[in-house]
């Protein structure tokens, strides 16, 4: 189980939200690159970065902050939030981002996924599905799609996408446990590589998610629980060190 710390950026600062509510914002550090260094020193093998401003506007507002993170640390970085064009994807990959997460655009402009799959390896493009009661939410979780989460996943799979980042919105940032049943249901129906996200509160949640490895869940994004020090970071990573793996493409140099 690969454990991936999350860094959410809003107005240039490292923040965490509760259930994606921008009015429930807590600032942790003024410089997100400093937080990236902290997680790297705690033995993180990969980071998940979200541009929250871009998720609402579609503009790469915090691009320079993300570039600073990529240039500062020596581990793979995946980036999401408002990436809705081929140019935006290229812009991130050109600075060394290892893989790009497409969220809203997978629903509103599925032809973008088809085009990206012609240009890049599947390991470079990941689709993020953030769902509430099985319905994907888009545009910073302000709108709902018209399909079920697993239906969207199967559409993406048919286009060549191999990995989904699945977030149970009801659990995200609540510190009340992971959405085990919703993730299990989704993973079983999607039949893809799954990165779980949302609600991880203690190491027990990680062990629970690890039971879903047979369903394709091989990694998990952890946010607020790390920031609120719910478990010692070193103990967290050491406990899963033997099972920690990266996709083949990430076992080589980040910029190769």
| Contacts of residue 93, Cβ cutoff 8 Å, sequence gap at least 6 | 100, 120, 124
Strands 21-29 and 143-144: unpaired
- Nearest alpha carbon to residue 48 among 18, 70, 19, 22: 70
Q: Which residues pair with 147 in a beta bridge?
A: none
d(CA 39, CA 142): 30
21 is catalytic: no
| Contacts of residue 77, Cβ cutoff 8 Å, sequence gap at least 6 | 46, 47, 49, 66, 69, 70, 96, 97, 98, 254
224, 16 contact by CB (below 8 A): yes
130 is catalytic: yes
Phi, psi (deg, nearest 5) at residue 6: -105, 140
The label of the residue with tokens 């010692």 reads 232
Query: How many alpha carbons fall within 13 Å on the CB side of residue 214?
Result: 2
Helix axes 149-159, 110-119, angle to 10 degrees: 30
97, 83 contact by CB (below 8 A): no
d(CA 196, CA 183): 7
Q: Which of 8, 53, 168, 172 is catalytic?
A: 8
3-state secondary structure of 1: coil
Q: Which of 130, 149, 205, 247 is catalytic?
A: 130
The residues carrying an active-site annotation are 8, 130
């Amino acid at each position: 189980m690969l454990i991936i710390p999350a860094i959410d950026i809003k107005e240039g600062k490292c923040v965490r939200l509760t259930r994606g509510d921008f009015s429930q914002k807590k600032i942790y550090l003024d410089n997100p690159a400093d937080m990236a260094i902290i997680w790297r020193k705690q033995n993180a093998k990969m980071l998940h970065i979200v541009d929250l401003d871009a998720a609402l506007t579609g503009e790469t507002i915090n691009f320079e902050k993300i570039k600073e993170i990529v240039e500062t640390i020596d581990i793979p970085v995946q980036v999401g939030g408002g990436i809705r064009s081929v140019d935006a994807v290229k812009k991130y990959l050109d600075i060394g981002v290892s893989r790009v997460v497409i969220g809203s655009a997978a629903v509103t402009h599925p032809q973008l996924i088809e085009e990206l799959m012609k240009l890049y390896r599947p390991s470079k493009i990941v689709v993020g599905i953030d769902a509430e009661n099985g319905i994907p939410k888009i545009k910073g979780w302000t709108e709902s799609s018209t399909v079920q989460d697993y239906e969207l996943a199967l559409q993406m799979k048919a286009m060549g996408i191999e990995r989904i980042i699945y977030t149970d919105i009801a659990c995200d940032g609540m510190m009340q446990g992971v959405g085990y049943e919703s993730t299990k249901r989704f993973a079983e129906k999607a039949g893809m590589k799954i990165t779980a996200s949302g609600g991880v509160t203690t190491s027990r949640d990680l062990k629970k998610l690890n039971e879903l490895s047979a369903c394709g869940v091989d990694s998990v994004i952890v946010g607020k629980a790390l920031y609120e020090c719910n478990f010692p970071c070193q103990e967290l990573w050491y406990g899963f060190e033997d099972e920690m793996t990266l996709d083949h493409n990430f076992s080589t140099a980040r910029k190769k």
